[in-house]
Every structure is written in structure tokens, then in C-alpha cells.
């Protein structure tokens, strides 16, 4: 039996409109719900293990509520010299983050997990991003846009923060928050199609 284009085939464990847009981009009809898990890193936890664990925990949290669709979840961290930069707590924190990233190369790690009734599979995307030098005035003006407040590392590559990026090696969609090659691989392995529907 074929599905109607708008019939959800997965549940996205995220309230992020960016992740929803990326799923629509590859034609995956879905519904979405926030996972609401504790995002504090564990003592001594590596950045790779951190994003992988959170993606799995988010997927399982939604599955545990009785969700019958396969659950797709992701987590993103900005990493510089081993330190993980999450969402800034305030203006001073955001300006400090952007100052550290200024003129340097950092990594963006995004893990994506798919939980089905049979198993949980996870993949991690790693991307190197180089920022140009940022002035204090520019960092302050960027904070005033409101964009850094809920973004890992204090910036959004798909938004106003895109002007900071000189170069990128890896997955652009991974930096936005959902690496599409890895996501498609998980879906394909689970027998879930993409390119099957649009937002219309």
C-alpha cells in the first residue's frame, strides 16, 4: 500500500524549525515533538560521545512515550580545542564564544539517531568551519539580532551568522543541525523512503 505524500513516516524528536526544513528538503513527511532531555555533558565525556549520547537519548525519550513511528533525533555541538560550546547562557557568554571562534577553525559535530521498534542506529557528522576575524562591534551587533541565543556556538550558518564563515569542509546541513547524507543512510537502512513528499 502506498502512502499519501503528507502521511508522516517518522517522528522528529526536535522542535527545531531548521531540522524540519531539512527533512522536508529531502521529501520525508514527518511530525515533530520536542524530546526535552538533560543536555549537560557527563564528566570527562568527549564531544563525539556527547552528541552521540544525546541524539540517542532524545530518540529514546520520544519512543518511550509510546510513539509508534520510527523516531529521528539529532544533537549538534561546536568544538574548539576539545571544549564543547553549547547555547550561550547570556550576552557575555555569546560574545566570548564568538571571540574564541574568530579567525580560527572549529569543528561542528552533529549526531543523528534513528530509533525503531527493532534497534537504535546512530551516525556522527564532523565538519570543519573557518571563521574570519570578527570585530567586537560586529559581535555585539550580531547579538542584537537575537540569532545567537539558542544556537550551539552562538551562531547560525544558515542565518545572519553565515557572513562569518570563510570556508567549510564537511557537511553544510550537518552544521545547520541535520546531516542529510547520514540521515538518508539511516532511513534507507531502516526501509524508510525519502523524496516521497513535499510540504504542500
Angle (nearest 5°) at CA 154 between 151 and 160:
85
- What does the block give as the cell for 137? 562591534
CA neighbor of 58 nearest in space, from 178, 195, 197: 178
Radius of gyration of the chain (CA): 17
DSSP collapsed to 3 states, 149-188:
HHCHHHCCCCCHHHHHEEEEECCHHHHHCCCHHHHHHHHH
Identify the active-site residue in 75, 93, 133, 150.
75
pLDDT tens digits, 158-197: 999 999 999 999 999 999 999 999 999 999 999 999 998 6
Cα gap 69→67, rounded to integer Å: 6
* Residue 90 bears catalytic tag: no
What pLDDT digit, counting tens, does each position of 119-160 carry?
A: 999 999 999 999 999 999 999 999 999 999 989 999 999 999
pLDDT at 198 over 80: no
| Cβ atoms of 187 and 30 closer than 8 Å | no
SS3 36: coil
Please determine, for residue 111, whether its predicted confidence score (pLDDT) is greater than 50: yes
In the predicted structure, residue 2 carries a pLDDT above the cut 70: no
pLDDT at 196: 81
Three cell numbers at 61? 525519550
CB proximity list for 23: less than 8 A, separation 6 or greater: 10, 12, 30, 72, 178, 183
Alpha helices for the chain (secondary structure H): 17-25, 47-63, 91-101, 136-144, 172-176, 180-189
Give the residue carrying C-alpha cell 547524507: 181
Q: What is the pLDDT of residues 38-94, one digit of tens each?
A: 988 999 999 999 999 999 999 999 999 999 999 999 999 999 999 999 899 999 999
Q: Say whether pLDDT at 6 is over 90.
A: no
For strand 71-80 and strand 165-169, is the pairing parallel, antiparallel, or unpaired? Answer: unpaired
Amino acid at each position: 500500500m502506498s502512502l499519501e505524500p503528507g502521511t508522516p513516516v517518522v517522528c522528529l524528536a526536535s522542535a527545531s524549525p531548521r531540522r524540519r526544513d531539512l527533512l522536508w528538503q529531502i521529501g520525508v513527511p514527518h511530525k515533530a515533538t520536542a524530546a526535552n532531555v538533560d543536555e549537560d555533558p557527563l564528566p570527562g565525556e568527549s564531544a563525539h560521545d556527547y552528541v552521540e549520547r544525546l541524539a540517542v537519548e532524545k530518540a529514546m525519550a520520544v519512543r518511550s512515550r509510546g510513539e509508534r513511528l520510527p523516531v529521528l533525533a539529532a544533537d549538534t555541538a561546536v568544538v574548539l580545542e576539545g571544549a564543547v560550546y553549547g547555547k550561550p547562557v547570556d550576552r557575555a557568554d555569546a560574545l566570548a564564544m564568538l571571540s574564541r571562534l574568530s579567525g580560527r577553525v572549529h569543528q561542528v559535530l552533529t549526531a543523528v539517531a534513528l530509533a525503531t521498534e527493532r534497534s537504535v542506529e546512530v551516525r556522527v557528522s564532523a565538519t570543519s568551519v573557518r571563521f574570519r576575524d570578527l570585530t567586537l562591534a560586529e559581535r555585539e551587533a550580531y547579538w542584537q539580532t537575537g540569532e545567537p541565543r539558542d544556537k550551539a556556538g552562538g551562531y547560525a550558518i544558515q542565518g545572519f551568522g553565515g557572513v562569518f564563515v570563510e570556508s567549510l569542509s564537511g557537511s553544510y546541513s550537518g552544521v545547520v543541525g541535520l546531516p542529510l547524507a547520514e540521515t538518508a543512510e539511516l532511513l534507507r537502512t531502516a526501509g524508510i523512503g525519502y523524496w516521497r513528499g513535499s510540504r504542500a
